[in-house]
Structure 1
Amino acid sequence: MVKYSGYLEYMDKPFDTNCYRRNPRLMKLGKEITLLGMEVGLLTMKKGELARFLFTPSYAYGALGCPPLIPPNATVLFEIELLDFLDSAESDKFFALTTEQQETFPLQKVLKVANTEREFGNYLFRQMRFRDARERYKRASLILCHRSSNGDEQCQIDAAKLLVFLNLSYTYLKLERPVRALAYGEKALEIDKRNVKALFRCGQACLSLTEYEKAREFLVRAQKEQPFNQDINNELKKLASCYRDYMGKEKEMYSRMFAPVCTSPVGPELKNPLQLKGTVP
């Protein structure tokens, strides 16, 4: 994730910048970032670093320039801030393999690929791009679920799967799909039955589904693990309030269903007692 501004000589305003964007998008070297000088410069930088680079024409826009903004043989100044980055080289290599080759990929590299996909998902989630985040998390899930092992290696795979399932559960809550959120929360609980986040997500999903007894069961289990967790305690209060409202509406509905029926001989056109007074002509 990069912020940048490009300047021509003797110009105060940039000819190109992304600094006005609230959330700069991820840009990939060689695809979204194609300026040779910027590629070379970024490879020398650390996360959080701000740097200025002066690019000669061969590292910028060449002998032709980029009309009408960039003249031929222009030397340009770039201010670049490297906010964050993800090393996707291993991930790109993995997805270029056949299915058979992926199955023989070393476990540590598989875990790195899955973590890269999850980190991409986290970035998209923070941008509130929940559908895109879900796709990244699902890619990470598929990589891990297709890999099985024994002993310590399986523990590493399960630990990675747990994080992805929790991410997917939360994302589906944001997408207002509580059934899927509950399914992934329960997958997480199969790995760690006392995981507080999984119990909390399942409770939230059940509350959205108006399955109040199940919601209470999950939330009480989460509260036992973390009695002073404010989010859990607030969700239990919300559950109690929703249940009271639900029971109130149920009571009102049944009272209407079984209310006594009026059998007065007075017709509906004489419901107002004032109509009975006086003389009928």
Structure 2
Amino acid sequence: MENSSANFRKPIKLSDLLSGTTFEFSSVDEKQIASSVQEEIDELIWHVPDEDLDKHKNPCSTSFTEWKAQMIETSEGVFKKVLEESEDPAANYIDLNTTRVTYHRNMYMENEDSPFDSTYLNNKTDVICLAMNPRDYLEGFLEALSTMKEGEHSIFIISYKKMFKETGCEPRINPKADILLDLKVIKVELVGDEEKVLKTSNSKQKFKDIKGSVEETRLRALDHFHQKKWSSAIELYQRILQNVDLSETDNEKESSNQKSILSQTHLNLAICYNKKEDWNSTMQHISAFKEYSDIGKNPKALFTLGRALMKVGELDKSLESLKKAFALRPFDKTIINELEQLQKEMNQYNGFVKSFHQNLMLN
């Protein structure tokens, strides 16, 4: 009797998954799968383009000692040079105890062209909010940031005593390594008053009257999210949905703003539920998000949906969504990690299908 099962070939390659190549499943050794995946990731993802590295070369072309002569010592062991002043002459220096600061950074060691730490190369800004999320930050980093204003771009040379100390953090950071810190402050926001946070309400209000509270609630939810307090963040986002959905707008501009807030809040809720591994709620909020926005243009939404679909076993749909997310952000490590996991899921499914067909043949 002729074997009617599918033909099984070599393992799926990550490049095939991303390019849309037609493929068939195969059963392979786990080590072979891991090797194949790693080779593809090394080739496609972890190679940062030379032009990106060129943009973020160490700005200090001479010794740190020579550069310090051109800088101002703002505190012991912290030297500063302003590259770009704040556009607001009335802006205050950052008070880290009362503000939420969004920023970009590069960190370099002396005589090293490329940064050992970079938000630019990761394509993500970072946020610090000591009031809501007290953590142990590097002393020199905090001192440098507190000398800056919103919109400012400055570089600092900071003594190892206020950074990674005598031991460093090998192999990335040498012992007793002074650090060049390149900082750009994107946004500074007051943490605000708890009384301004939205309360649960079933009554209609004017949209213009709740906008300030909506923004404060959003920022509080974001702080909880950064602390991995998913349930607390969800509660606050739900308050935003409830209040904004019931609010009355007076003109087209307000109506557009209202829809934008509802869209983003549904996406934020989907991301939170994704973190809690509540896949059904994740997909429900992605569906709601799609009522207001084009998911095909939003890599976060595509990634969140793709992950949820994979977890409920919808592998083909998951692949479609993750490929679209990858097309929009081809160097996003989170998306790549999920594609790697999807490949493992598909290969496991492949093994199950082959075993199923073999059992059919035996019977």
How far the C-alpha of 1:197 sits from its partner, in A, is: 0.8
CA distance in 2, matches of 1:214, 1:173: 17
The count of residues paired between Structure 1 and Structure 2 equals 180
Matching of residue 127 in structure 1 with residue 227 in structure 2: yes
Answer yes or no: is 1:166 the counterpart of 2:267. yes
Indicate if the aligned counterparts of 2:322 and 2:335 stay in contact, CA closer than 8 A.
Answer: yes
CA gap 1:179/1:49 in 2 versus in 1, 3 angstroms: closer
Given that 1:181 and 1:202 are in contact with CA atoms closer than 8 Å, whether structure 2 keeps it comes out as yes
Q: Is the 8 A contact 1:111 1:160 kept in 2?
A: no
Displacement after TM superposition at 1:90 (Å) = 3.6
Matched, 1:147 2:247: yes
Q: Determine the C-alpha separation between the residues in 1 that align with 2:304 and 2:354.
A: 30
Q: Following superposition of structure 1 onto structure 2, how do residues 31-42 of structure 1 map, counting pairs within 5 Å?
A: none
Instruction: Tell me by how many angstroms 1:144 deviates.
Output: 1.7
Tell me the residue number matched to 2:276.
175
Displacement of 1:99: 4.6
Show structure 1 runs of 4+ deviating over 4 A. Answer: none
The letter for the 2-side match of 1:207 is M
Q: Distance in 1 between matches of 2:276 and 2:309?
A: 15
Is the alpha carbon distance of 1:124 and 1:175 closer, same or farther for their aligned partners in structure 2, counting shifts above 3 Å? same
Q: Does 1:222 align with 2:325?
A: yes
The one-character-per-residue Cα deviations of 1:68-114 (angstroms, maximum 9, x if unpaired) are: xxxxxxxxxxxxxx73533233446xx49x754xx243x23322222
Letter matched to residue 196 of structure 1: P
Give the aligned CA root-mean-square deviation in angstroms: 2.9
| Matching residue's letter, 1:86 | G
* Residue aligning to 2:170: none
Matched-pair contact (CA < 8 Å) for 2:286–2:305: yes
Deviations 1:152-198 (A, max 9, x none): 11221122223211221111112111111112123223322121111
CA 259–228 in structure 1, closer or farther in 2 if over 3 Å, else same? same
Do 1:111 and 1:157's aligned partners in 2 also have CA atoms closer than 8 Å? no
Instruction: Identify the match of residue 96 of structure 2 among 48, 68, 84.
Output: 48
Q: After alignment, is 153-162 or 195-204 more displaced?
A: 153-162
In the aligned structure 2, how far is the partner of 1:209 from the partner of 1:49? 43
Following superposition, the deviation at residue 200 of structure 1 comes to 1.0
Change (3 A) 1:152 1:241: same
- What are the equivalent positions in structure 2 for 1:6-17 lying under 5 Å apart? none
Q: 1:88 aligns with which of 158, 183, 194?
A: 194
Relative to total residues, which structure has the larger strand share, 1 or 2? 2
Question: What secondary structure does 2:362 align onto?
Answer: coil
Question: Unaligned stretches of 5+ in structure 1?
Answer: 1-45, 51-81, 261-281
Is the 2:202–2:242 contact (alpha carbons within 8 Å) kept by the matching residues of 1? no
2:311 aligned residue: 208
In structure 1, what is the equivalent of residue 177 of structure 2? Answer: none
Larger Rg: 1
Q: Distance in 2 between matches of 1:168 and 1:47?
A: 30
Residue 176 of structure 2 is matched in structure 1 by none
Q: Distance in 2 between matches of 1:252 and 1:88?
A: 58
Q: In structure 2, do the counterparts of structure 1 residues 91 and 130 end up closer, same or farther at CA, with 3 Å as the change threshold?
A: closer
Pairs within 5 Å for 1:103-118: 103-105=204-206, 107-118=207-218
Q: Specify the alignment match of 1:245 in structure 2.
A: 348
Distance 1:148 1:235, change over 3 A: farther
Task: State the secondary structure of the residue aligned to 1:83.
Answer: coil
Q: Is the 8 A contact 1:114 1:141 kept in 2?
A: no
Residue number in structure 1 paired with 2:300? 197
For residue 124 of structure 1, report the CA deviation from its aligned partner. Answer: 2.3
AA matched with 2:287: E
Asked if the contact 2:271–2:282 (Cα under 8 Å) also holds between the matched residues in 1, the reply is: yes
User: 1:187 matched to which residue of 2?
Assistant: 288
Deviations 1:196-226 (A, max 9, x none): 1111111111011110111112112222322
Q: Higher helix proportion, which one?
A: 1
The gaps in structure 2 that reach 5 residues or longer are 1-93, 99-129, 133-190
